[in-house]
Chain A
Amino acid sequence: MTSPGDAAPVKPPPSFSPGVARVASTSPSRYPGEQEPPQSLDADLAEARSVTSPGPLSSTIADLPLRPGSTHSRSGRSSTPQLARSSVGSPLDGRFDGSEDIRSLIIRSFSPTIAVHASEDTDDLVRNKGFKGGFWELIRPFGETVPGKVVIRDSIGSSRAWEDYGVRFVDFKGIGRAPTGRDSGPLAQMEEVLSKHLDSSEGLLGASVRTRDVLGYPATTPLCKLFLQQLLCSGPAAPHETFGHPVANVIAISSRNPAPLETLRQLYADTTTGNKQPPEWVNQEYLRYYVLVHDEERDDITESTKLYDQMKRHFGLHCHLLRLRSSQCVVTDDDSMQVPQCEWLSPSEHLSGVGEAEALVDLGTDGTPYLFDSDATSIRAFIRELVVQSVIPFMENKVAVWNDQVASRRRGISGRFMSMSRRWAGFGSSSRTSIAGSSGGNSGNYDSVQHFYGPDSPEAVLRKMADFAFMLRDWKLSTSTYEMIRSDFGNDKAWKYHAGAHEMCAVSMLLNPLATSAKIKLDSVDQLFETACYSYLTRCSDAPHALRCLSLAVELLKSRGGSATESAAKWAMRVMDFGLVGSVGQILYTERVAACYACKTPHGAAKWGGRRRKAGMWSILAADQWLKAGKPTLASACLEEAERLYADVLQADGAFPMPEMQSFVDNLRHAVRVEYLEARGFDAKGPPAPEDPVGTEETSEKLDKRNHRRSLIGLPMQLDAGTLNMTPGPRDTENPPSDDFERA
């Protein structure tokens, strides 16, 4: 490991040997589009290829009329090789709210973590700009989306470009330390966030509460997305998985610093010694990246450039000169732009109000996240260079090295023999699950008191390699690596590692787009999840990870479509059964079950194979629960969804064949409508206008006789428009307005 103290201008981490093409330009690239020729060529070719041969799905989409809002986003979504079919969802594309979006969300949630360690003077400079959290807070939102395509080479050397790549900046001092100040667990916090979100948005969301993607599949509700996001970023870094461990450390000083090199050296030292260094289970072999923040307004650029050159001589190529203005930007400034919102805020951050500065915009200038355009451009260019030219190559290289040095040995004969002998040692009895197995069977690398492997042990390295491959989206390699190590953890009784490897093995399998066509064995995926969940929950009592595991199972199986959706629904029910979620979570998962079933669409002329009735039932149940939770707007959305789902399977009049079902649904509709209007301040008991169809006498009188009412479709929208005139909503245009509701 190189330390800044060594004066010789050598490449910093010895294990890093970047490709020639990538280091050809060492000066900071100002323009996101600037890429080295081979890569952009690749990408262009790929684009051309995917345009000429669009997948069947995309051609279907193209034929369908799009909602005005989504046309733009689609055109902005250029295809990348192979992914056009399955897995690209640009993060800018939030409106495109299908399962692709959820896949992308999941993929992005496992982004490389980059620690940020800035000097006091840097933080001061940035604080003056209105970012109280300092440098880290300033660059954090920009890291979530690396501008332009990011090309990653997988283990067999083929490249793939990604539109939605991101990294997660974390405060260096916070790594491995649980957020303080709150005693409730992450799950309770999530529930709190959800309730808070609901209370603030109920009544405002109106009809827009649920969008649908172009194919008419039930979309993910914003709330559900929020939940998933919360879940995926709620946990602090843990020993058993390396996703939260830093892949790189950005060490930043500013041009104001009187002793820049000395400070850099000190900051570097912090990462290896002293009380600021990460916990001992974090592998120290991460990339160091040095940033000089130049104050455009107060300091001389020639001085800074000189310093920057000096830095490069000392620390090698992983340096960047970031030019920022030091004054604070306000809304009224000409070239002001709002800082993008952080997409990945943990529950505790949500609760402590991070990212809610927006609400203060009107109250004053303090704390409002505005930046000069030029600053934003510089930051974006910095992040792109950091990721594309340093972090990704570093990770690719690490994976290659570990694969070569550790994994292949493990895969080879001797490795297998090792593993065998470990397994069969002990007492000579055959059972590797017996208690006896542990005494002679474990590798000795696992510290069973502190519950972690040393970061240099083969187990930990392989896990890290698998995680790197995962973050590089090389799911084929990550699958095989998790596969290789998962049983070792069981032998060592390292149950959290055991659970994590099983979990990520299944997740990798499901994410691997190449395995889509090949019938991946759903049974084995289910079995992996089952084992992971059992280890998390029963052996480790780790509810948050168990919930994450099951939620990933639900979402990824759902996005697979076909018979996998039934597994997805099963896991969603399991989440509820285990009581892993609070009351709001229960309802969300009820909705999720409905969504899973709704994904299984009928095929063939006979129209069988769908799960419309099941989906409809779960939607009704969700509506009932929303109503009980006092959220009539959401209940109404679920009812509408149920109606849509049932439309294909019920008689033309939409009546349920079974009387008790019918009366239950009728009563539910009625109750939802009454509550909805009451929540809006309308007195449902005394209709404000004679033609108001919501008169209770009428409704209750007719309740039993009516077969069916298409009650709530379109209702919220009309109310939003400030009228009670019950014209049919947009969805009804194909049906003549002949519903009972009209006549009532």
Chain B
Amino acid sequence: MALSLRNPTLINRDQHKMSYYFTILSPTDTPLFNIAFGTSKGGGDGIARFRFPETAQYMNQFIIHSSLDILEEAQWTNGSMYLKHIDTYPPAAAYITAFLTPSGARFLLLHQPPHLPSSTGSSGLGASSLLGSAGSTTRASSSSIAANPTSPQTEEAVRQFMNEVYENYVKTAMNPFYKQGMEIKSPVFRTRVTAAGKKWL
């Protein structure tokens, strides 16, 4: 399956618009920070549109939580802080990218491409390109490189995002009024994460 070599700008912009759910977890899995946002680049409005209905937003948390299994494994086999794409939840095409701070806090970014309205027909076969990197070699992905959650470009953009969040996370952790392991309520931090998201994703 050859990757598309077309100029990304020629590709329908809607395909770029990912939805993101970013979570920071303490080393003991307590969530410290959550934020949902969407693609801002290329004309995106920065609003997340997950595939789950409004009533099922818990799915983001379930998926992120379940990826900790993989993360725990990856952190032993991978020495770097940025662990890249570690997990996929195929039914919802949710990709998880992880970043591990030296103190053990976990930054997890769930990204989900938008539902492509039946370009491959309404049969069950259409969704098969969602099966992640392994095994799905027979079917071409309809997404462009930029919208491909596992492409090197995406990995790099997420790395920048993670690094910027990490810098701000350190500052936040230095706030004497912030108790380690507690939820980060700082609006300043939220603003900065949002800005980082706008800047890189």
Chain A residues contacting B81 (CB-CB under 8 Å) are none
Asked if B72 and A608 make an inter-chain contact with CB atoms under 8 angstroms apart, the answer reads yes
Give the Cβ gap from B52 to chain A, nearest Cβ, in Å: 11
Chain A residues contacting B28 (CB-CB under 8 Å) are 651, 657
Q: Given A578, A613, A649, A664, which contacts B128 in the complex, CB threshold below 8 Å?
A: A578
Q: Which residue of B lies closest to A616 (CB)?
A: B66
The answer to whether B127 has its CB under 8 Å from any CB of chain A is yes
Chain B residues contacting A580 (CB-CB under 8 Å) are 124
**CB < 8 Å A-B pair total:** 93
CB within 8 Å for A574 and B65 given contacts A608-B73, A660-B58? no
CB within 8 Å for A611 and B69 given contacts A606-B76, A620-B62? yes
CB within 8 Å for A530 and B138 given contacts A609-B73, A610-B69? yes
Q: Which residue of A lies closest to B129 (CB)?
A: A577
B interface residues, how many (CB within 8 angstroms): 35
Asked if B138 and A534 make an inter-chain contact with CB atoms under 8 angstroms apart, the answer reads yes
The answer to whether A573 has its CB under 8 Å from any CB of chain B is yes
Asked if A576 and B91 make an inter-chain contact with CB atoms under 8 angstroms apart, the answer reads yes
Q: Mark A609-634, 1 if CB is under 8 A from B, else 0.
A: 11111101100110000000000000
Interface residues of A in 494-551 (CB under 8 A from B): 526-527, 530-531, 534, 537-538
The answer to whether A7 has its CB under 8 Å from any CB of chain B is no
The answer to whether A737 has its CB under 8 Å from any CB of chain B is no
Asked if A660 and B131 make an inter-chain contact with CB atoms under 8 angstroms apart, the answer reads no
Q: Mark B72-114, 1 if CB is under 8 A from A, else 0.
A: 1100100000000000001100000000000000000000000
Interface residues of A in 292-332 (CB under 8 A from B): none
Asked if B131 and A613 make an inter-chain contact with CB atoms under 8 angstroms apart, the answer reads no
Interface residues of B in 20-67 (CB under 8 A from A): 25, 28-31, 57-58, 60-67
A interface residues, how many (CB within 8 angstroms): 39
Give the Cβ gap from B150 to chain A, nearest Cβ, in Å: 15
The answer to whether B119 has its CB under 8 Å from any CB of chain A is no
Chain B residues contacting A578 (CB-CB under 8 Å) are 124-125, 128
The answer to whether B68 has its CB under 8 Å from any CB of chain A is yes
Asked if B127 and A577 make an inter-chain contact with CB atoms under 8 angstroms apart, the answer reads yes
The answer to whether A656 has its CB under 8 Å from any CB of chain B is yes
Chain A residues contacting B64 (CB-CB under 8 Å) are 658
Chain B residues contacting A597 (CB-CB under 8 Å) are 69
CB within 8 Å for A579 and B90 given contacts A658-B61, A660-B58, A661-B65? no
Chain B residues contacting A537 (CB-CB under 8 Å) are 125
The answer to whether B137 has its CB under 8 Å from any CB of chain A is yes
Asked if B76 and A608 make an inter-chain contact with CB atoms under 8 angstroms apart, the answer reads yes
CB within 8 Å for A579 and B124 given contacts A574-B131, A609-B73, A661-B62? yes
Q: Mark A74-100, 1 if CB is under 8 A from B, else 0.
A: 000000000000000000000000000
Chain A to chain B contacts (Cβ below 8 Å), 10 pairs: A538-B125, A567-B135, A574-B90, A578-B128, A579-B124, A606-B72, A608-B73, A612-B69, A620-B62, A660-B57
A positions within 8 Å CB-CB of B: 526-527, 530-531, 534, 537-538, 567, 570, 573-574, 576-580, 597, 606, 608-614, 616-617, 620-621, 649, 651, 656-661, 663-664
Given contacts A574-B90, A651-B29, 6 further A-B contacts (CB under 8 A): A526-B134, A570-B132, A613-B65, A658-B58, A660-B60, A664-B58
